[in-house]
Amino acid sequence: MHESLEPIVKQFFVLSAAVLGTVPYGCASQQQRVDRMQPEAVQVAQKRGAFELGCAAATAEVLSSEMMQSAATGPLLRAPERAEYTVGVAGCGQRATYLVVCTVGGTGCVAGGTRNVTR
């Protein structure tokens, strides 16, 4: 290898290793945020389910969860990250599912849309 290229090649490998080394941590921090907001998402769905099913004893469990980012691009179009949960609520012989959305850095979670009920 030419001596003048050697420092550049070394820098390339050092920077590549640094970038690749941060990738797993980004995923872990997203999962940590999803995990941290999950109790509130479950509570929001349980309260809504208990009310809509007319069953104070209703219980809730997370069926799925995912961190979402808007497809919007550009400096003024960046939408906040949000965690979305599908939460099942059951009680008094009925079941319902809710989509609960929690915005990262927001003030709470919302059980949006309509419910899907099984009797």
Top-confidence residue, 105 or 51: 51
| Domain locations along the chain | 6-118
Q: What is the pLDDT of residues 39-74, one digit of tens each?
A: 999 999 999 999 999 999 999 999 999 988 766 666
Contact 108, 100 (CB under 8 A): no
pLDDT value of position 110 = 92
pLDDT value of position 8 = 61
pLDDT value of position 50 = 95
pLDDT value of position 71 = 63
> Taking all residues of the chain, what is their mean pLDDT, rounded to a whole number?
78
pLDDT value of position 14 = 46
Nearest to 49 by CA among 57, 33, 13, 27: 57
Q: Is the pLDDT of residue 78 over 60?
A: yes
Mean pLDDT is highest, among 66-70, 74-78, 80-84, 97-101, for 97-101
- Give the distance, in angstroms, between the CA of residue 36 and the centroid of all CA atoms in the same chain: 9
pTM greater than 0.85 = no
